Amino acid sequence: MPKQYDEPVSLKQTLTPEDYTEAFAQVAFFAAPMRRRSVRALVCVTVAAVAASFLPLCSGHGAARAVAAAVAVVFAVAAAAVWFLGPVLEKRRAEKWFRSCPLAALPSEITLTGQSAVIVTSCERLTEYWTDFTICVETDRLIAVAGGRERFLLVLKKDGLPPEEAEKLSGLMRYVFDGRWAGTAPRKGGS
């Protein structure tokens, strides 16, 4: 391990529902590209367009024409629902999980090394090893690490850190998650 990552990085933070929701959305954006709302909406629009293209062929067959029209309408509505309701439902799901886990909202002190993260709150002490995590996503405000054994989503807030500490944290996470690190995703609603 390079000399610059030998010393641990420590930070104190208290997560808010907004922090967790943002981290959840960023991880979802990078972890499953085929589940992005733009991809799902495009699939629905494509199916609707294909179904609508069969309408002229079904001009003499009333039942077939009705089925093609129904499929086109249903998938067009599904595309709109995926595009407009998807981010709202994803945000609600993240907020629901955050509210269901009061330990996640406790003030915590996190110590990060090249091998692990140690999270200490007034109620628990967790050690998470980086080998258990699958992806790390960094934004301007935070770093989200997903796939842990004790906490599926570990959120590290960069807000409030001095610039040199934030850069040190970012460098450590890029080093640890080489090949599993992703940059900033779209902020509002994902795509």
Domain boundaries, the chain: 3-183
Give me the residue label for tokens 């405000």: 141
Q: Which amino acid is at 165?
A: E
Give me the residue label for tokens 């089925």: 67
Which stretches of 101-156 are DSSP H helices?
Answer: none
Q: What does DSSP assign to residue 2?
A: -
First to last CA, the chain: 36
Residue 5's closest CA among 177, 183, 189? Answer: 177
Residue 5 has what pLDDT?
65
pTM (two decimals):
0.79
Residue 4 has what pLDDT?
61
Residue 151 has what pLDDT?
83
Domain 3-183, CATH among 2.30.29.30, 3.30.70.20, 3.40.50.300, 3.40.640.10: 2.30.29.30
Note down pLDDT in tens along the chain; length 191 residues.
Answer: 455 666 899 999 999 999 999 999 999 888 888 888 999 999 999 999 999 999 888 877 788 889 999 999 999 999 999 999 999 999 999 999 999 988 889 999 999 998 999 999 999 999 999 999 999 999 999 999 998 888 889 999 998 899 999 999 999 998 899 878 777 644 555 55
Q: Do the Cβ atoms of 156 and 13 come closer than 8 Å?
A: yes
Going 181 to 182 to 183 to 187, the CA torsion angle's sign is: negative
Cα maximum dimension of the chain: 76
Which residues, other chains included, contact 89 with Cβ-Cβ below 8 Å and sequence gap of 6+? none
Size (the chain), residues: 191
d(Cα 106, Cα 14) in Å, to the nearest integer? 6
Residue 119 has what pLDDT?
95
